[in-house]
């Protein structure tokens, strides 16, 4: 196992004086050169979680360290933000409309006092992000570029600082489907060539399949399933992950399981397993038939202890594992 670039331990983030539990006890490690997709519905806390990694949200509990250094007080925030860069969903909103593309990339270099010949660094960054030849873009303004090109500018600005970790919040959601693949390929190339790590927040499971080594599924502030992408997306264990996958048009052969109701409210987290009010196993009575329905309704649970790389927080899974003394063989499917 490679060293961790970022390590979150029992992180809790609360809003509104502790009434809203946006992130509720999350632990996650991301290794060097690893891409983790953080998936879930709006309001599940995925964006809050990555904001806490760059010190934008104070922690109510737990700790975060980046390259072994703790993220916390104001001290060292600038140094942290050079190592951790962020790209956002809407590239138009993230660029200053009155700054040229040159300025957009150079600003970060100046703030972080990066050594070297500035024009060369800017040109290199643009070129690496696929804006070639760079001199054609330097003097242009954001409104003269397409959405895909603007997102490339933001990626160039972020990567110019040679971060160890890139936090990407829905990096392609605002782009045309045809453009998404190119941007994702670009992000993946930075991982393969420069060893940057990425946490990509998304509701798009196709993105995870395209570029992520691991997937973490969040529900109401907590990770409910995490593991290698092939396992989580091919053999999902949590009923929530199964439902999410069943409504993706790109997955064939799964019977659609549309959860009713809106995305739940983090200020009113249900008792027991927080997913139980929407869980098909509970609604169908199957949980009761098999004898763990009361646990679903009454006992809160976290991810099962680390026995394998694929972990899940679900009473049905724990129950099945308890009923059969041997640990169930993981259904690893070999690609080929």
Partner 1 sequence: MSVLELRDLHITYRTEGGDVPAVRGVNLTLERGDTVGLAGESGCGKSTIAAAVLRLLPKGTNVSGQVLLEGEDVYAMKPGRLRAVRWTSAAIVFQGALHSLNPVRRVGHQIAEAIRLHAPHGSAAHHTDARVGELLERVGLPAERAQHYPHQLSGGQRQRVLIALALACEPKLLIADEPTTALDVMVQAQVLALLEELQRDHGLSLLFITHDLSVLTHTCEKLAVMYAGRIVEQGPSQTVFNSPEHPYTRALAASFPTIGDPASRMNPRGLAGDPPDPSALPSGCPFHIRCDVATPECTTLDVALRDVVSPGAAPGRSAACVHVGVARV
Q: Which residues bind partner 1 (CB under 8 A)?
A: 41-42, 146-149, 176-185, 188, 203-207, 209-211, 229-230, 233-234, 243-245, 247-252, 256, 258-260, 262-263, 335-336
Q: What is the DSSP letter of 257?
A: -
Residue number, 55 or 206, with CB nearest to partner 1: 206
What minimum distance in Å lies between the beta carbon of 49 and partner 1?
17
What minimum distance in Å lies between the beta carbon of 237 and partner 1?
16
Residue number, 176 or 294, with CB nearest to partner 1: 176
**Integer angstrom CA distances of residue 196 from 56, 98, 122, 189, 271:** 21, 30, 19, 10, 39
Give the long-range contacts of residues 303-308, CB within 8 A, separation 24 or more.
Answer: 303/27, 303/223, 303/224, 303/225, 303/226, 308/227
CB 10 within 8 A of CB 61: yes
Residue number, 6 or 205, with CB nearest to partner 1: 205
What minimum distance in Å lies between the beta carbon of 230 and partner 1?
7
Q: Which two tokens stand for residue 322?
A: 């308890």
Q: Which two tokens stand for residue 136?
A: 């054609």
| Residue linked to tokens 């053999």 | 235
Task: Decide: helix, strand or coil at residue 238.
Answer: coil
Gap between the Cα atoms of 174 and 149, Å rounded: 12
What minimum distance in Å lies between the beta carbon of 261 and partner 1?
9
What minimum distance in Å lies between the beta carbon of 250 and partner 1?
5
Residue number, 90 or 107, with CB nearest to partner 1: 90
Cis ω for the linkage preceding 203 (within 30 of 0): no
Residue number, 76 or 147, with CB nearest to partner 1: 147
């Amino acid at each position: 196992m490679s060293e961790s670039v970022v390590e979150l331990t029992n992180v809790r983030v609360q809003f509104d004086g502790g009434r809203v539990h946006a992130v509720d006890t999350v632990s996650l490690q991301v290794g060097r050169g690893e891409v983790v997709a953080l998936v879930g519905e709006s309001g599940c806390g995925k964006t809050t979680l990555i904001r806490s990694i760059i010190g934008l949200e104070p922690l109510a509990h737990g700790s975060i360290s980046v390259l072994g250094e703790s993220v916390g007080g104001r001290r060292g925030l600038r140094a942290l933000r050079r190592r951790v860069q962020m790209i956002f969903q809407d590239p138009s909103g993230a660029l200053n409309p009155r700054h040229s593309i040159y300025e957009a990339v150079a600003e970060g270099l100046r703030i972080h006092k990066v050594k070297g010949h500035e024009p060369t660094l800017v040109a290199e960054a643009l070129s690496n992000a696929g804006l070639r030849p760079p001199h054609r873009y330097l003097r242009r303004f954001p409104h003269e570029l397409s959405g895909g090109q603007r997102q490339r500018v933001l990626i160039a600005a972020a990567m110019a600082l040679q971060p160890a970790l890139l936090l990407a919040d829905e990096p392609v959601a605002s782009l045309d489907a045809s453009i998404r693949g190119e941007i994702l390929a670009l992000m993946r190339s930075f991982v393969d060539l420069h060893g940057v790590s990425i946490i990509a927040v998304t509701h798009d499971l196709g993105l995870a399949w395209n570029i992520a080594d691991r997937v973490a599924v969040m529900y109401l502030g907590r990770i409910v399933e995490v593991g290698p992408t092939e396992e989580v997306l091919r053999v999902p264990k949590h009923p929530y992950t199964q439902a999410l996958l069943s409504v993706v048009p790109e997955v064939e052969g799964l019977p659609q399981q549309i959860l009713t109701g809106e995305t739940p409210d983090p200020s009113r987290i249900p008792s027991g397993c927080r997913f139980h009010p929407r869980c098909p196993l509970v609604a169908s009575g199957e949980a009761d038939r098999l004898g763990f329905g009361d646990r679903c309704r009454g006992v809160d649970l976290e991810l099962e202890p680390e026995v394998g790389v694929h972990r899940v927080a679900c009473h049905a899974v724990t129950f099945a594992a308890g009923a059969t003394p041997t640990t169930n063989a993981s259904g690893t499917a070999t690609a080929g």
